Amino acid sequence: MTTGALPLARPALVRPRRMLLSGVAAGVAAHLGLRPGGVRVLFVVLALCGGAGVLLYVWLWAFVPLAGEARSAERAVDRPSDRDAGAIVERAVPVALVLVGVAGVAAAVAVLVGRTPANGHPLVPGIVESVLAGAGAVAWSLVGDRRDPRYNERYARVVRTTAGCVLIGEGVLLLPSQPSPPTAVSALLVLLLGVVVLLLPRAVAWWSGVLAERSAREREAQRAEIAAHLHDSVLQTLAIIQNRAGPQSEIARLARAQERELRDWLFAGTDPFAGDVATELRGIAAALELDHGVRFEVVTVGDVQAIANGPLVAAAREAMLNAARHAGGDVSVYVEATVESVDVFVRDRGPGFDPERVPESRIGIRESIVGRMERAGGRATVRSGPEGTEVHLSADRSAT
Amino acid sequence: MRVLLVDDHSIFRSGLRADLGPSVEVVGEAATADEAVRLVEELRPDVVLLDVHLPGSEGGGAEVLRRCAGLLGSVRFLALSVSDSAEDVVGVIRAGARGYITKSSSGAEVTRALETVASGDAVFSPRLAGFVLDAFGVAHGEQAESVDELDRLSAREREVMRLIARGYAYKEVAAELFISIKTVETHVSAVLRKLQLSSRHELTAWALERKLL
């Protein structure tokens, strides 16, 4: 057994992802087999020797990789997803908040010094420190904490707001007490910087909102342009085909179905409430037109888009199916939503029939329309004559 | 009855021309707004069958109507559209058209509508009746207090509009309400007048409102 095997057993010099500040001390301790606390004390002692410890710490921070992070730049370029997957770090010290605290203390010192008359202390370094710490806090909350899930957007907002308020407060308190131009100017600059820190995120959000709105408008304009073009060509042609072929023919049926699909796309506007009465009846009409020689015209009045009513739609579907089967031709469907009730009228121009004489075996009207509506607390009436048949369905608004 | 066809599609014009009844004499055809205005002034037809969408002009059919505004007393306009959009349709009506029918209407239906408009009455399709009911807040139970009120429909007008929206022809509406066809036509013309003169609903606004619901 030789001691030469020992270096191989030594863990690699990496910074752990769960860190106090940067993971340097913990990483060095694990690498050398020491206690992290001891390493930290060592850094502090070295720091007192002309700042050597600080330099060493920063140097290690810059060059020691995080655990699991791709070491060579090539691998990182080849597989960028590796970087993303290992992007999370957990930092125990809330650096941004600490920096805000430093900025606050520095600002307080600067204000105290500035407002005490005629003491010889230089004022500018305190201002510079507070500005640096405040800006550092904001930068850290924007960049440094991005990979840390524990510091969320709300935390970043608190940091930014506090830093902005500290700087504004410092500027406001210093400004009136400074007769000499350099300090007065720097106080004014601090004040402005604070305002910028406070307003910048809002301005950025507003600007990106403007951009998003503009691109949405452009998309809408493009869509309108396409719609106008289709209008002038395809819809017209489909209308001609239907006219020439007659409503009962197969070609007219296909043209009608195509027209409806296109129309839905063109005039849909905002996406409709799924499952509402108007949309469902339009869908039923389109489906029936494919299978039967019939043309539905669906007219809606009131806030029909906001109502869902299963039994009403099912009964209306039955009525529309009857009209398509037994009457054909043009069928009008009228839906009206008032404050009290929703009414559906389905009217065809067929030969008509006597509702009283419909044989028992045909449960369509008795069960599927009248029975269904009554069970749901609504009403259904059927009127039929040589001029055609009209089915009237009514449901109370409260039952929907 | 002398009729001018205004539509930018020559196929559609010739197809329609072949389908129209014998009472209709097509005295001219126009494909653009400029041409339409010129021919209206030159020919003075009884009825202009006007496509809502015309190329090369911002306002389409509504623009033709605006430029012919001085002739609206003697020349009547019937709007023809493939559009379902409320703004388009109500736009031409407010500009002075006496009615609106869809392009999928048959030749016989178009002929009938032309005759109705030529005799001074208004032509409402079920869809236009639906727009009107929406525009005048019928679903919210609003009703005119007096005959002169432009912003709301009277109870009778509301009834007539509802029946038209349900697919009833004028004579069926008359039979249903036990009134004469002439009375139905009077009600429809009154509604048309309200639609054209009412300042209550700037119609793009209510179309938006309707979308939001």
- Ranges of each domain in chain B: 1-121, 124-213
Find the CATH number of the domain harbouring A341.
3.30.565.10
What angle is formed at CA A77 by the lines to CA A73 and CA A78, rounded to 5 degrees? 115
- Residue A298 exposure: Cα atoms within 13 Å on the Cβ side: 19
Contacts of B19 in chain A (CB under 8 A): 243
DSSP secondary structure string for all residues of B102-140: ETTS-HHHHHHHHHHHHTT--B--HHHHHHHHHHTTGGG
Residue A107 resides in a domain: yes
Same-domain check for residues A140 and A209: yes
A92, A120, A146: which is the final residue of a domain? A92
Min Cα–Cα distance to chain B from A229, Å: 10
Cα A331 vs. chain centroid, distance in angstroms?
43
Question: Quick one: pLDDT at residue B204?
Answer: 45
Q: For residue B8, which residues of chain A lie inside 8 Å, CB to CB?
A: 232
Do A81 and A118 sit in the same domain of this protein?
Answer: no
* A30 shares its domain with A102: no
How confident is the model over B8-16, as a mean pLDDT?
A: 82
CB-CB neighbours of A53 under 10 Å: 17
A243 touches chain B (CB under 8 A): yes
The answer to whether A243 contacts B19, with C-beta atoms less than 8 Å apart, is yes
Which pLDDT does position A354 carry in this prediction? 66
> Does the beta-carbon distance from B9 to A236 stay under 8 Å?
yes
- Give domain status of residue A245, yes or no: no
pLDDT mean over A34-42:
86
Q: Does B146 touch chain A (CB under 8 A)?
A: no
Q: Which residues of A touch B87 (CB under 8 A)?
A: none
Q: In this predicted structure, which of A16-30, A223-237, A247-261, B106-120 has the lowest mean pLDDT?
A: A223-237
Task: Please write the tens of the pLDDT for every residue from A121-176.
Answer: 566 777 778 888 888 888 887 777 777 777 777 888 888 888 888 888 888 887 77
Any chain B CB within 8 A of the CB of A230? no
Yes or no: say if B113 and B107 are a contact pair by the CB < 8 Å rule. no
Q: Do A232 and B55 touch (CB under 8 A)?
A: yes
B1-121: which CATH number, 2.150.10.10, 3.30.1490.120, 3.40.50.2300, 3.90.1200.10?
3.40.50.2300
Same-domain status, A317 and A298? yes
pLDDT higher than 60, residue A229:
yes
Same domain, A11 and A127: no
Is the CB of residue B75 less than 8 Å from the CB of residue B32?
A: no
State the smallest CA–CA distance between residue A378 and chain B in angstroms.
19
Instruction: Tell me the β-bridge partners of A18.
Output: A90
pLDDT for residue A85: 46
- What's the half-sphere exposure (Cβ side, CA atoms, 13 Å) at A70? 15
Shortest Cα–Cα distance, B177 to chain A (Å): 15
Tens of pLDDT, residue by residue over A77-98, are 444 444 444 567 778 778 888 8
Number of domains in chain A: 3
Q: Are B51 and B31 in contact (CB under 8 A)?
A: no
Question: Do A383 and A360 fall into the same domain?
Answer: yes
Same domain for A135 and A79?
no
What angle in degrees, to the nearest 10, is found between the helix axes of B155-165 and B170-177?
A: 130
Residues A193, A107: Cα–Cα separation, whole Å: 13
Measured CA angle at A277 (ends A275, A281), to 5 deg: 100
Residues A44 and A118 in one domain: no
Burial of A12 from C-beta contacts in 10 A (0-12 / 13-18 / 19+): exposed
pTM for the whole thing? 0.57
Contacts of A228 in chain B (CB under 8 A): 53
Of the candidate ranges A41-50, A316-325, A355-364, B24-33, the one whose mean pLDDT is the lowest: A355-364
Given the candidates 2.30.30, 1.10.1330, 3.40.50, 1.10.10, the CATH classification of the domain at B124-213 is 1.10.10
Instruction: Flag whether A226 is in a domain.
Output: no
Residues A67 and A160 in one domain: no
Question: Taking all residues of chain B, what is their mean pLDDT, rounded to a whole number?
Answer: 80
Interface contact A347, partner B, CB < 8 A: yes
Task: Pick the closest to residue B138 from B191, B212, B199, B85 (CA basis).
Answer: B191
A286 and A369 share a domain?
Answer: yes
Contact present, B196 and B90 (Cβ < 8 Å): no
What gap in Å lies between CA A130 and CA A16, rounded to an integer?
31
Tell me, what's the pLDDT at A218? Answer: 86
Q: Distance (Å, rounded) from C-alpha B109 to C-alpha B89?
A: 18
Residues A69 and A162 in one domain: no
ipTM computed for the complex: 0.80
What is the least distance, in Å, from the CA of B13 to any CA of chain A? 10
> Does residue B110 surpass a pLDDT of 80?
yes
Q: How far apart (Å, rounded) are the C-alpha atoms in residues A346 and A313?
A: 12
User: Is there a domain that residue A246 lies in?
Assistant: no
Strands (E), B124-197: none
Show the domain range for A100.
94-218
**Which residues of B are less than 8 Å from A239 in CB distance?**
12, 82, 102-104
Q: Which two tokens stand for residue B138?
A: 């019928």
- A273-299 pLDDT, tens per residue? 456 788 888 888 888 887 787 888 888
Least confident of A330-339, A370-379, B194-203: B194-203
A75 and A133 together in one domain? no
Mean pLDDT of A372-380: 84
Domain for residue A236, yes or no? no
DSSP secondary structure letter of residue A12: P
